[in-house]
Amino acid sequence: MIIMENVSKTYAKDIVGISNVSLHVKKGEFVFVVGKSGSGKSTLMKLLLKELEPTSGRIVVDGNVINDATRRTLPFIRRNIGVVFQDFRLLEDRSVYENVAFAQKVIEAPPAQIKNNVLKMLSMVGLLDKYKANPKELSGGEQQRVAIARALVNSPDVLLCDEPTGNLDVVTSEEIIKLLDLANQQGTTVLVVTHNLDVVQQMRQRTITMSEGKIISDMAKGGFSYED
């Protein structure tokens, strides 16, 4: 569950990131965010993670008021939010297995559970046979699958993806989006920023269009008011 109420973010020198955005995403929803480059999509995602402080407005994710989060409480809030980036951000000094297990170790999951959870996630993203491989040996699509496994291994309630298919070809992109859809079917609330309008139309999910820092449309079933 995500709530944004009249949220604005102004960068230095009056550069508007987003302006007066209000948004409600229910638990278990799948939402696409589309819009031109510079329309504020990444800013919105970063605000949800408290990577950025809003200039004004209130943000609640999964019952936690993000505005009030402190250095001490933020890590625990983030354990409920998975993140996937365009550039995968895998650690190349360790195996696929270690990359996913890392997320569990960091939150001090019981060692007995880690192996179980990691193998379950790798099997969900279809990479069980490559658990020993180094990320460098994988295709872009495979790397993004590992990143998704890592984002989901701690069973977050919310999954935020900023252009997860930005570096991938059409076919691979569809596979990745299907994977996100699978995570959504298993109960995770999913927010996906994308430029891939074919996928958006195909998936027929709720879609939000942004322009110049504002939400200009919010439609069900893959509707958007945006041209490439």
Partner 1 sequence: MKISTFGYQIKQGFKNIHRNRLFSIASIATIAACIFIFGVFYSIVANAQHMIKNAENKVAVTVFFDEGTTDTRIDEIGEQIKVREEVDHVEYTSPEEAWENFKSQYFGEYEYLAEGFKDDNPLANSASYSVYLADTSKQDQLVTFIEGIENVRQVNRSDEVAKNLSTAARLAGYISIAIIIILLAVSIFLITNTIVLGITVRKDEISIMKYVGATDGFVNAPFFVEGIAIGLIGSIIPLIVLFFLYNRIIGFVLTKFSVLNNILTFLPVMTVFRVLIPVSLILGLAIGILGTLFAMRKHENV
Strand 81-85 to strand 15-25: parallel, antiparallel, or no bridges (unpaired)? unpaired
Enumerate residues 107-126 that contact partner 1 by CB under 8 A: 107-108, 110-111
Smallest gap from Cβ 47 to partner 1, in A, equals 15
| Contact between 177 and partner 1 per CB under 8 A | no
| Closer by beta carbon to ligand ATP, 40 or else 82 | 40
| Contact between 102 and partner 1 per CB under 8 A | yes
Contact call for residues 131 and 117 (beta carbons, < 8 A): no
Start-to-end Cα distance in the chain: 30
What are the start-end ranges of the E strands in 40-157? 56-61, 64-65, 81-85
Measure the CA–CA gap between 70 and 139, rounded to whole angstroms.
Answer: 38
Binding partner selected for residue 40 from ligand ATP, Mg ion, partner 1, none, CB under the kind-specific 5 to 8 Å limit: ligand ATP
Smallest gap from Cβ 141 to partner 1, in A, equals 20
| Contact between 39 and ligand ATP per CB under 6 A | yes
Look-up: residue for tokens 């490439």?
Answer: 228
| Contact between 41 and ligand ATP per CB under 6 A | yes
| Closer by beta carbon to Mg ion, 93 or else 228 | 228
Inter-CA distances, 109 with 71, 94, 99, 177, Å:
21, 19, 15, 28
Measure the CA–CA gap between 159 and 167, rounded to whole angstroms.
Answer: 19
| Closer by beta carbon to ligand ATP, 88 or else 97 | 88
Strand 64-65 to strand 56-61: parallel, antiparallel, or no bridges (unpaired)? antiparallel
| Contact between 184 and partner 1 per CB under 8 A | no
| Contact between 26 and partner 1 per CB under 8 A | no
| Contact between 37 and ligand ATP per CB under 6 A | yes
Measure the CA–CA gap between 65 and 62, rounded to whole angstroms.
Answer: 8
Look-up: residue for tokens 């996913």?
Answer: 100
**Does residue 80 sit in helix, strand or coil?**
coil
| Contact between 167 and partner 1 per CB under 8 A | no
Residues near ligand ATP (CB under 6 A) are: 11, 15, 17, 35, 37-43
Residues near partner 1 (CB under 8 A) are: 49, 71-72, 75-79, 83, 89, 91, 102-103, 105-108, 110-111, 150, 154
